[in-house]
Structure 1
Amino acid sequence: MTARTDLSVTQGAALSVGAVLGTGLISLPALAADAAGPASLVAWLALIALSAPLAWTFAALGARYPDAGGVSTYAGMAFGPRVAAAVGWTFYFAVPLGSPVAVAFTGGYVSDVLGGGRGTEFATFLVIVGTAYVMNWFGLRISGRVQVVLSLSLATMLVVTVLAALPHLNLDHLTPFAPHGWSGIGAAAALLVWGFAGWEALSSLSGEYRNPRRDVPRATLVAVAVVGVLYLAVAAVSVLALGPALAGSRAPLADLLAIGLGGPVRALTAVIAVVLTLGAVNAYFAGSSRLGVALAKEGALPARVFGAQRRSLTFIFVAGIGCVLLPLDLHTAALLTTGCFTLVYVIGTAAALRLLTGVWPRIVAGTAFVAVLGLLWLNGLPALLSLVIAGGSLAYQAISRPSRSRPSSISAGSAAPNPTTSPACLSSSGPPE
């Protein structure tokens, strides 16, 4: 159980907002616009609406069963240790697949300043991922407080970007509204899961509130409102100010700031993007490398390969380089990763249906379950990878006959796709203060 640290509603809401706000937002408006045009705003609204029942479901689980393990813990309670391990596999193997995507978002900003196109983006990937690898190899990690500052920096940049671009909005950019048809909205929604990953951190934080049953719902309401306003504001301003140019932009926030402020904002935005991404990748590497060790200790992964933190870390690093060399475009790679995140949510909300009692809690959890199941379907063929990973975990455990003990160590780090700010996530996934 998580040690209580007497979080206030304000502190909890701030940490929850930070857990959801991810570096993907620096490029998500462009990717969504490329998939759906101005109709991508409908996808943004749909994901914001989904945030309410999804966030409430995880908050209710956390309030009733306070534990830092989050989704994996609840999956184990509802379906047993094998399913908990499958959740761990899904997150663990999503990290090397997702790291090239996360850095590609930032690489677009760096190449926007330095030029060089894909070559600069690849060099950016090697620098950021290599730095995170070395830092974790020697135990040098960014503290939780710095992670919070990084997320606050992103939020501040978003607010400044919106305000700077307001005078340049043009309603004509809303037409044609759905140039790729209404199916494009579903494609955009599947991509946007990247930006909304992190609501499960609410369950990991619950044990740290002064009064979880009273404060968790309040903090959840505040966090959902703040995230929704920020995301919708950035998305709407991006569409209305940049118009058709948004879909092809590799650095949409820099483009917006350049329109509104001028001057050397592109270089400043690129620096902020690099620092934010390094912090996020560092947290991913720290948490997932320990998750690999925990899975190996439970017999859910081969101990010879994953049984030590540096070996697990090296696997993630090498696999990440291998993934960046795959002939995948950014859109497909992002869908492969969000498919994994979405499957974690499917399992988490399914666990909530078994663990929560009462009519309204089950209705809300059921609504969230149906919604994320729909998102998994909208993910299309890339979602099959997440199912293959989860199936591989079950097959490996059946063959190796792992221990049937409670998956407390597996839960460490497997619950948070975006473990960049929450102290619960940080303590459970590895990086110390």
Structure 2
Amino acid sequence: MASLKKDITLIGGIGQMSTTLLGTGLFMVPAIAANIAGKDLLWAWWMLIIAVCPIAMTFAALGKRFPNAGGASYFVKQAFGSRLEKSVALLFISVIPVGVPAAIAIAGGFAQQLLPSFLATPIVSQLLIVALLMVVNFAGSKSSSRLQTAIALGILALVGLFLWKGEVNSYDSVPHHLASIDMGNIGNAIAVMFWCFVGIEAFAHMGEEFKRPDRDYPIAILVGCLLAGAVYYSFSVVVLKHNAYGTPELNTTSVPYLANLLFGAKANWIISLMGFLACFATINLYTQSLSRMIWSLAREYKPESSLAALSTRGVPSKATAIVGITLALSCVFGQLSGIDIEIFLTLANGIFVVIYLFAMWSAVRLLEGTGKVLAMIAMALCMIVFVFIGLAMAYAVIMLGLIWVAIPKFQARKTHATKQ
């Protein structure tokens, strides 16, 4: 049976994990959440980061015990069998035409500021990003992890500059007035802020490619989550101090607004570059994860097919090409249809919450002792987020139901065709 190359180091894993979580969220979520929670935003971050710890630790424990390119669906298989594994895997793959193109559209908006005028159109910039994704992914996971580590260092430096120029002090950095906080607003803010920690499930697909998965994979998840949480918290402090929120337009342009306020208009190109790189880092890992999910299914159930083959660099080339073509077509459709990006993001968010929920449920069945207790806490937290998201979960639940019903029918037809 073919195996992926073990090229990812601890530092590279931390870089991949942290940049995946930062991505598009850094440029929207702190200001949107501040608009909801106001001065209580810092309390919301503390609560969310504490809540995410059991989820991250559970993913770390599962990945250490079951390092596999199938990620969350492989964990589900160990706990519940192959039918639910396929359902969760296909649910994750269904994010290709909705979630990733939305992130590409956001990255394309930054890229347009950097491209020459004849290329600075939405559809061209997005297709160029897809092409760049294919170049990076075909180069192998080692090159990809190095790139994302460099991006992570760049984001840390940028947020450090915002803190310095924003004259943030120790008083600004800690939450106040615990007795008067509004838990309703904090809960609504956390439902939005959970987007910042969507990505742990994608990183689960990379466990098989770590040089030392038993040691480095859990550390990469935990350190990456804490590092991303610290960056989000620090930037939120700057947003609050300089009131970079309050209107729909300002909520989505808080980073350029702060850059112009603190550094002047000449710094806008740096923000555009870092915005593009941060978004690209997230999209890159999802592209890797999706291709490995397709490859993992082929390796498990149809190992003789060309989808299960690897290139000389250890890359699932055909699966990667399928993801790339689907992304390109989805970007074109998104532009021509004029569907709002927020709709795509909402649909994708529901899918991720369902995958988290099943991964945590699997951990309850697979882990023992402290690991089982943490998994139960994590599962309860995922249920709370599920409730907060509300009707937006309908798409993911319906998709999972349709896939669950379709799998045995598809298998029956395949068996019948084989007999004939």
Letter in 2 for 1:384: A
CA distance in 1, matches of 2:300, 2:198: 26
Distance 1:188 1:94, change over 3 A: farther
- Write the mapping of 1:272-351 to structure 2, written as runs, cut at 5 A: 272-285=274-287, 287-288=289-290, 291-292=293-294, 309=319, 310=321, 313-324=324-335, 329-351=340-362
Q: Quote the residue 2:382 is aligned against.
A: 372
Aligned-residue sequence identity (percent) comes to 24
- Write the mapping of 1:15-414 to structure 2, written as runs, cut at 5 A: 15-106=16-107, 123-124=121-122, 126-135=123-132, 141=138, 143-144=143-144, 145-166=146-167, 183-200=184-201, 201=203, 204-205=206-207, 208=210, 210=212, 212=214, 220-245=221-246, 248-249=249-250, 250-285=252-287, 287-288=289-290, 291-292=293-294, 309=319, 310=321, 313-324=324-335, 329-358=340-369, 360-401=370-411
CA distance in 2, matches of 1:100, 1:36: 29
TM-score by length of 1: 0.74
Q: Secondary structure at the match of 1:21?
A: helix
The Cα shift of 1:152 comes to 2.7
The Cα shift of 1:60 comes to 1.1
- Is the Cα contact below 8 Å between 1:50 and 1:371 reproduced in 2? yes
Q: Secondary structure at the match of 2:167?
A: helix
CA distance in 1, matches of 2:114, 2:5: 45
Task: Please give the per-residue CA displacement for 1:127-167, whole angstroms capped at 9, x wherever unaligned.
Answer: 34312444567897563122332233223222222322235
Letter in 1 for 2:273: V
The Cα shift of 1:41 comes to 3.6
Task: Please give the per-residue CA displacement for 1:173-212, whole angstroms capped at 9, x wherever unaligned.
Answer: x99x9xxx75443343233232212334368438836583
CA distance in 1, matches of 2:330, 2:187: 30
- Is the Cα contact below 8 Å between 1:55 and 1:220 reproduced in 2? yes
CA distance in 1, matches of 2:297, 2:207: 22
Distance 1:312 1:106, change over 3 A: closer
- Is the Cα contact below 8 Å between 2:364 and 2:376 reproduced in 1? yes
- Report the more deviating stretch, 50-59 or 290-299: 290-299
- Is the Cα contact below 8 Å between 1:346 and 1:373 reproduced in 2? yes
- Is the Cα contact below 8 Å between 1:353 and 1:365 reproduced in 2? yes
Distance 1:371 1:324, change over 3 A: farther
CA distance in 1, matches of 2:297, 2:278: 28
Which 5+ residue runs of structure 1 have no aligned equivalent?
Answer: 405-433
CA distance in 1, matches of 2:237, 2:19: 21
The Cα shift of 1:106 comes to 4.1
The Cα shift of 1:96 comes to 2.3
The Cα shift of 1:74 comes to 0.5
CA distance in 2, matches of 1:15, 1:386: 26
Between the two proteins, the alignment pairs up a number of residues equal to 385
The Cα shift of 1:400 comes to 0.5
- Report the more deviating stretch, 381-390 or 310-319: 310-319
- Report the more deviating stretch, 262-271 or 92-101: 92-101
TM-score by length of 2: 0.76
CA distance in 2, matches of 1:11, 1:314: 27
The Cα shift of 1:292 comes to 4.6
Q: Secondary structure at the match of 2:98?
A: helix
Q: Secondary structure at the match of 2:52?
A: helix
- Is the Cα contact below 8 Å between 2:6 and 2:209 reproduced in 1? yes
Q: Secondary structure at the match of 2:390?
A: coil
- Report the more deviating stretch, 273-282 or 370-379: 273-282
**Over aligned residues, Cα RMSD in angstroms?**
4.1
- Is the Cα contact below 8 Å between 2:74 and 2:85 reproduced in 1? yes
Letter in 2 for 1:336: L
Distance 1:34 1:138, change over 3 A: same
Which 5+ residue runs of structure 2 have no aligned equivalent?
Answer: 306-316, 415-420
